[in-house]
Amino acid sequence: MKLVVATRNKKKLLEIKEILKGMDLVLLSLDAYKNSPKVIENGKTFKENAVKKAVKLARFTGEFCLGEDSGLCVDALDGAPGIYSARFSGNGKNDIKNNLKLLKLLKGLPRSKRKAHYVCAAALADKGGLVGVVEGRCNGLIAFEPKGSAGFGYDPVFYIPKYKKTFAQLGEKIKHKMSHRYHALEKARRVIQKYIVKQAAG
């Protein structure tokens, strides 16, 4: 069965493929649909944005779709950047600029005040509407400087005390067993499995 993922981010798609491997699915990204509508992410929560993406894309493609929204929430910044994680540094935004802005805002704060967590919401929809929405979370700290080259987004500054490394240093293998996206997609896996069984039963 096809599952269309509402993203053009190749690294994100690879991560989702890796976590959902073993399922009877063909995963496609928005690149397979050149004229797909742009979704304005104006929801107030990760779940709202994920649902918007999934429902709009399912309506457009007629296929089973996964909408995902994720980001970083930092305690010392009252939960920012949150839903604005991808566009945190404004115009000309990119991962490096976002990370540098974050580190600048936390400059001088001790380790004990650098608590943060990643959140991922995943919504599933078909042309009939929303099928289910789930959320995953991963706790950590914000490092004092970027380290590592794996992953994307805030991974170089997201530090896991248990491993004494950032997500970007840990690499995909360990990250995919503990990340916010892993926790959300493991829940989504159950929703997808039920949907496949239901479709097969007609």
Rounded mean pLDDT of 73-91?
A: 95
Q: What is the pLDDT of residue 12?
A: 86
Q: Which of the listed CATH numbers 3.40.1410.10, 3.10.20.30, 1.10.3720.10, 3.90.950.10 matches domain 2-201?
A: 3.90.950.10
Whole-angstrom Cα distance, residue 32 to residue 124? Answer: 18
Q: What is the pLDDT of residue 133?
A: 98
Q: What is the pLDDT of residue 176?
A: 85
Residue whose pair of structure tokens reads 């004229």 in the numeric block:
35
Whole-angstrom Cα distance, residue 54 to residue 68? Answer: 8
Average pLDDT, whole number, for the chain? 94
Please tell me whether the overall predicted TM-score, pTM, comes out greater than 0.85 for this model: yes
Q: What is the pLDDT of residue 38?
A: 86
Residues known to be catalytic: 69
* Residue 75, number of CB atoms within 10 A of its CB: 13
Residue 143 has pLDDT above 80, yes or no: yes
Residue 44 has pLDDT above 80, yes or no: yes
Rounded mean pLDDT of 191-199?
A: 93
